[in-house]
Amino acid sequence: MPESTDRPPRSASRLLRRGAGSVSQRFRRVWTNAPLALQCGLAAGLAWYVAAHLLKHATPFFAPIAAVIVLGASTGHRLLRTVELVLGVAVGIVVGDVLIAAIGSGPLQLGLVVALAVGGALFLGTGAVIINQAAASAVLITTLYPPSAGIYYNRWIDTLVGGAVAFVVHALLLPIDPLTGVRRSLSPVLDALTHALAQVAGALREHNVEEAEHALAKLRETGPMLEKFRESVAGAADTVAVSPMRWHSRGHLNLYRDAAPHIDHAVRNSRVLVRHSASALRNSEQIPQDLPEALAAVVESIEWLHRELQRGQQPEAARGRAIEAIRLAHAAVHDGPELSATAVAAQIRSVAFDILLASGLDEHAGREFAQHARRQATPDEETSPA
């Protein structure tokens, strides 16, 4: 029977739904980054006002450009970015002004100026901001604003103004909540981790190797998420360090900073865990009943870690579930199962230990908790450190 003509075909319907979802995601992205857009707008306007009206510079375009680049170049270490920006623009201006005044302008001169500007920037440092701004400044000076009466020092002063204004906006006038970006960047990491480990727990119960391999593929996609999380933590630390209005967030941020390296280790150890799980399933090995239960306890510990970090609480519930995971994993291999299952249990203990450390315990305390959990699993035996 032919498809009704009063409704779009299925492929068109899917395209419309996908387009609507894309538009909503784009609006959400704009809304999420609205504070940064406001920072850039305020800094650009203030930088132009200071350079044009207070310092009386004619067309001080380097001031707003510098302000926007400082705020948008990186979420963290903006003081370092400001220094790199000023150095890069200064190199481009000096090289451009000197050479164009001496040899004139044109395509060959442009190529020579940009090459020398990049070389000078590389001599000063290898940061991308220095190199990019040296090249961009040299291009602007050579093509749009070539010098007509020697070196224009105002251009370098305008860059200083832009960088300083950007830093003031970032630190004092409109500081972004440092915890918002950290929460937003951590959620995808922990969601992906808990989903993959829960999937593996189900795969172990049902002896489904395809599910385990699918979980491993998902965990391999977490690299960019982890990098974004690390950048967010660095940016938040930068904001908290320089903005008196955000000093009250230091304690809460420290929970994330302490947890960050151990979350990274937990993801890496989870990949190894999933590989061993897939190997055990491919070899049709017997899976002890406590093994998927231990994995489920790890998932719960990560979920609790996420909740408690968001609330700014010490992750005690996460700690308790991680200890239970270690106990179950040790009990699962007490009777000596096959090799891959033993490796899975060892990795479950490793991930749970990472969660213990992410909960704020130091290495010594974490090992004491792990030993206690193992003694609970085998009370009649002496246990060695985790």
Domain borders along the chain are 37-173, 178-377
As a whole-number percent, the residues of the chain with pLDDT over 70 amount to 84
pLDDT: is 178 or 144 the higher one? 178
As a whole-number percent, the residues of the chain with pLDDT over 90 amount to 39
- 11-41 confidence digits (pLDDT tens): 555 544 555 457 777 887 788 778 888 989 9
Domain 178-377 has CATH 1.20.58: yes
Q: pTM to 2 decimals?
A: 0.75
Q: Are 103 and 148 in contact (CB under 8 A)?
A: no
pLDDT of residue 15: 47
pLDDT: is 21 or 218 the higher one? 218
pLDDT of residue 12: 52
pLDDT of residue 3: 46
Q: Is the dihedral of CA 240, 242, 245, 247 positive or negative?
A: positive
pLDDT of residue 369: 84
pLDDT of residue 43: 92
Kindly indicate the confidence band of residue 77, based on its pLDDT and cuts at 50, 70 and 90: low
pLDDT of residue 21: 54
